């Protein structure tokens, strides 16, 4: 299993002028930062991260993912997520560009639920690189420069504005067809994990209290995928560093929080929608992962 790089470790490897933002913005609203990509003359560790990263890379090099290698020989946007193992290897010549670092809590702290899970360039097994033409490069350079200006501003709503700028960058990338010509080395574990994560996400959102989850355990997912449970568990752990059960629990918990916050369903209805036979089982599950009861969580959000 590859090591997981934290935000603190990233900032240790890449000291930046506005590094104090980590302490100021590492809150319940999530973390965000944007800064100049300084010259990189080394190969970064092959690892996963506990944050998301979008890099505008100007310079030559190679991006190495768990299932592919892509030669970067012109300006490109590179997308990294906690589910994808990657490494950067610099090539000859100057290196410049920008980094955007952010957590899931930052981009999804408003009404944009599932914004990252649904974004193609962050998905396991997908493409994570978009090459840019001159027009698009100029637009993104101007946008990222504006984002850096906002980071230094005293505007009270600057993080809401930065969140919108970040979405603009993400959608601008989708206007270009992601790179598809790469040296493929797709492993069986990566393919299995991608199938599992897609099947997991396909069950959400829960639109009705009568709509109950059909797949709730690793064994049920394995059966649906025509796999042995041990094979599924081993593949998912190898690729993501998390167990199959952890992924299922985290996604159920995320949906539980959304239902408690955005619907008027009773606790029993939420429990039923999420596949719990008894409300008490749901309450125990929720408290295990949050330290609070569903009822208390709903009160805190009203």
Q: What is the CATH number of the domain that holds 231?
A: 1.10.10.60
Q: What is the reported pTM?
A: 0.64
The answer to the question of residue 195 being in a domain is no
Write out the two tokens for 76.
Answer: 């490109």
* Strand positions, DSSP E, the chain: 4-5, 32-36, 48-49, 52-58, 61-65, 68-72, 76-80, 86-90, 96-102, 129-131, 183-184
Q: What is the CATH number of the domain that holds 122?
A: 2.60.120.280
* 122 and 171, same domain (yes or no): yes
Residue range of the domain that includes 273: 201-300
* 217 and 173, same domain (yes or no): no
* 112 and 255, same domain (yes or no): no
The answer to the question of residue 207 being in a domain is yes
CA 293 to chain centroid, in Å, comes to 27
Q: Residues in the chain with pLDDT < 70?
A: 1-3, 17-29, 39-43, 45-47, 66-67, 109-115, 117-118, 124-125, 177-186, 302
* 33 and 116, same domain (yes or no): yes
- Domain end residue (candidates: 184, 210, 227): 184
- Domain end residue (candidates: 132, 151, 184): 184
The answer to the question of residue 192 being in a domain is no
* 100 and 235, same domain (yes or no): no
For position 26, what pLDDT does the model report? Answer: 45
231-268 per-position pLDDT tens digit: 999 999 988 889 999 999 999 998 898 889 888 899 99
């Amino acid at each position: 299993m590859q090591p997981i790089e934290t935000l603190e470790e990233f900032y240790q490897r890449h000291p930046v002028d506005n590094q104090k933002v980590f302490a100021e913005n590492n809150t319940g609203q999530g973390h965000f930062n944007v800064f100049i990509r300084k010259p990189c003359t080394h190969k970064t560790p092959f690892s996963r991260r506990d944050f998301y990263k979008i890099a505008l890379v100007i310079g030559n090099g190679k991006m190495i993912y768990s299932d592919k290698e892509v030669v970067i020989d012109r300006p490109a946007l590179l997308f990294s997520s906690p589910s994808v193992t990657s490494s950067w290897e610099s090539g000859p010549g100057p290196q410049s560009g920008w980094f955007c670092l952010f957590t899931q809590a930052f981009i999804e702290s408003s009404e944009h639920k599932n914004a990252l899970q649904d974004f193609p360039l962050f998905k396991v097994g997908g493409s994570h690189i978009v090459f840019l033409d001159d027009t698009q490069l100029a637009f993104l350079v101007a946008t990222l420069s504006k984002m850096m200006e906002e980071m230094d501003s005293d505007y009270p709503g600057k993080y809401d504005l930065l969140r919108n700028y970040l979405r603009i960058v993400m959608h601008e990338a989708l206007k270009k067809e992601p790179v598809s010509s790469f040296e493929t080395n797709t492993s069986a574990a990566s393919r299995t994990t991608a199938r599992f994560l897609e099947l997991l996400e396909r069950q959400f959102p829960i639109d009705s209290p009568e709509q109950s989850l059909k797949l709730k355990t690793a064994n049920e997912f394995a059966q649906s995928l025509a796999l042995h449970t041990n094979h599924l568990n081993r593949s998912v752990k190898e690729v993501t560093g998390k167990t199959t059960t952890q992924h299922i629990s985290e996604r159920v918990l995320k949906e539980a929080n959304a239902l408690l916050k955005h619907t008027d369903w009773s606790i029993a209805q939420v429990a039923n929608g999420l596949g719990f036979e008894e409300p008490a089982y749901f309450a125990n599950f929720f408290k295990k992962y949050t330290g609070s009861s569903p009822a208390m969580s709903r009160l805190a959000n009203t």
